[in-house]
Amino acid sequence: MNIDNKTLLLLILNVIIILYAFIIVPYTWFLTILFSAILYGALSPLISARRIYFLAAEAPHISLLSVALGIIFYNVLPILSEFSWALVLSLILIYVIAFAIRWGLDPDVVTSATVAFTASSSIIAISYVLSKYSIKYNLWSIILGDPLLTTRDELYVLIGISFIVFSMVLYIF
């Protein structure tokens, strides 16, 4: 096996960079980014193959609204946690949109109306939450998704969801 000096140098440089990253960067940060990339990478071909582009366009806006409404619902009806309320509300909104498209409405019109509604409603809900409720965490970090603040328990949830989604995508294809 004949390896030229340039290839060997690049290989050594890559190994040094990887070792440096593992030593300097906390493993929770690295694993959070890694499993988030796996999750998004697995969902993209599924969205394309199933032609559910509306979901890709609407999901961030729905999530933003659901997180803010989840906090409000939790403070009014403390049956579920904030995150459970956010999940339930997200699923309800997504299913309503899917049924509207299935009933024959134009997907572009439904997507546009949903994005407009959820974007404006999110601003109102976030303003209300920030002015009305005292919450124990940084709302902006949850909404914007700060991977540097990921706890070990949240990392375990992310890893579990990533494996479930990746397994489902492999099963479907």
163 assigned to some structural domain: yes
Tell me, yes or no, whether 5 lies in a domain: no
Q: How far is CA 66 from the centre of its chain?
A: 12
Calpha distance 70→76 (Å, rounded): 10
141-160: burial string, b at 16+ Cβ within 10 Å, e else: ebeeeebeebeeeebeebbe
Q: Within a domain: residue 101?
A: yes
Q: Which of 172, 171, 167 is nearest to 39 (CA)?
A: 167
- Quote the number of domains for the chain: 1
Mean residue pLDDT across the chain: 84
4, part of any domain: no
User: pLDDT digit string (tens) for 34-47?
Assistant: 888 888 888 888 77
pLDDT tens-digit readout, 43-68: 888 777 777 777 777 888 898 899 89
- The answer to whether residue 21 is domain-embedded is no
Question: Is 12 inside any structural domain?
Answer: no
In angstroms, rounded to a whole number, what is the distance separating the alpha carbons of residues 70 and 78?
Answer: 10
Q: Quickly count: other Cβ atoms within 10 Å of residue 118's Cβ.
A: 22
Please tell me whether the overall predicted TM-score, pTM, comes out greater than 0.85 for this model. no
Q: Is residue 13 part of a domain?
A: no
CB 72 within 8 A of CB 88: no
pLDDT in tens, 129-148: 888 887 766 666 666 667 77
**Is 47 exposed, middle or buried (CB count within 10 Å of its CB: 0-12, 13-18, 19+)?**
middle
Give the pLDDT score at 144: 60
Residue 121's domain comprises 27-172
Say if 7 falls within a structural domain. no
CA 44 to chain centre: 12
The answer, yes or no, to whether residue 69 has pLDDT greater than 90, is yes
Burial class for 33, CB neighbours closer than 10 Å (0-12, 13-18, 19+) = middle
What percent of the chain has pLDDT above 90? Answer: 18
